[in-house]
Amino acid sequence: MRLFFCVELAEPVRAALGEVAGALKARIGPGAKWVEVENLHITVRFLGEVGDPLLEKLQELGAEAAGASPRFSLRLARLGAFPAPRRARVIWAGPEEAPEGFARLVKRVEAGVQALGLPPESREAVAHVTLARLKPPRDVAAALAGTPLPELAVEVGALTLMRSQLTPQGPIYTPLGRWELGG
């Protein structure tokens, strides 16, 4: 199973991001793969392919990490691209700076994942919502600069373990566990 831990977004936030993505799409043109509005989320830790025997342990980890982590909020206030706007592979919306609560949640999940014997994450976790992927990479700096993003408040109150089934029409996400934050 292809799995990841994430923070799900409320419908009004997803809808607003969908409008922003529509404006970007008009500026960028064809060639980008846009994330479906219902699939927009903030990844906490991508796990990749994981065998069935680990599922229960990952669900226990989700419950423990969420229970030990305080609720927090963040404001999606800027558009950006990885690795950079002039050679973008990923277009995203994110906060000006990630709140401490996000960093703590990521740290707890990462420690638990490694304790289960999965390899450590090679990249630093950056709080963001992926809006589109581009192949090949291209310059989207002008499109990003010319597209306003209304400041969107995200109240983070739960951690979700999500299954991602890849299909020709796009991924299908299925929650395998959702735990309230409460630390």
Residues recognised as catalytic: 41, 128
Q: In this structure, are residues 77 and 140 in contact, taking their beta carbons and an 8 Å threshold? A: no
User: Under 8 Å CB-to-CB from 43, ≥6 apart: which residues?
Assistant: 4, 5, 6, 125, 128, 130
Q: In this structure, are residues 150 and 23 in contact, taking their beta carbons and an 8 Å threshold? A: no
The position carrying tokens 């990462």 is 110
Q: How far apart are CA 5 and CA 44, in angstroms?
A: 5
